[in-house]
Amino acid sequence: MLAYMIVQELQKLWSWLNVTVGEGIAELSSINSIEIKIGETSYNQIPKPRALGEILLELANVTLPEVLPN
């Protein structure tokens, strides 16, 4: 039931983009993290999403962290 409610909400949020929820999820699934190592220190950085991914996240009111602790 929760998945159905999420899909319905995303359809409403993304309706004006002419993007299906499946297409939106596929675009967002391309977001990943990159491990950065400097000497003994390492962290994971999330690169800036592509233009469509940025719009999809903004419409869903989701903010990605720039850095993830390792």
The share of the chain scoring above pLDDT 70, in percent, equals 99
- pTM, to two decimals: 0.84
Domain that holds residue 41: 2-68
pLDDT of residue 69: 74
Q: How many domains does the chain have?
A: 1
pLDDT in tens, 33-67: 999 999 998 889 999 999 999 999 999 999 999 88
Write the CB contacts of 60 (distance below 8 Å, at least 6 apart in sequence).
Answer: 10, 13, 14
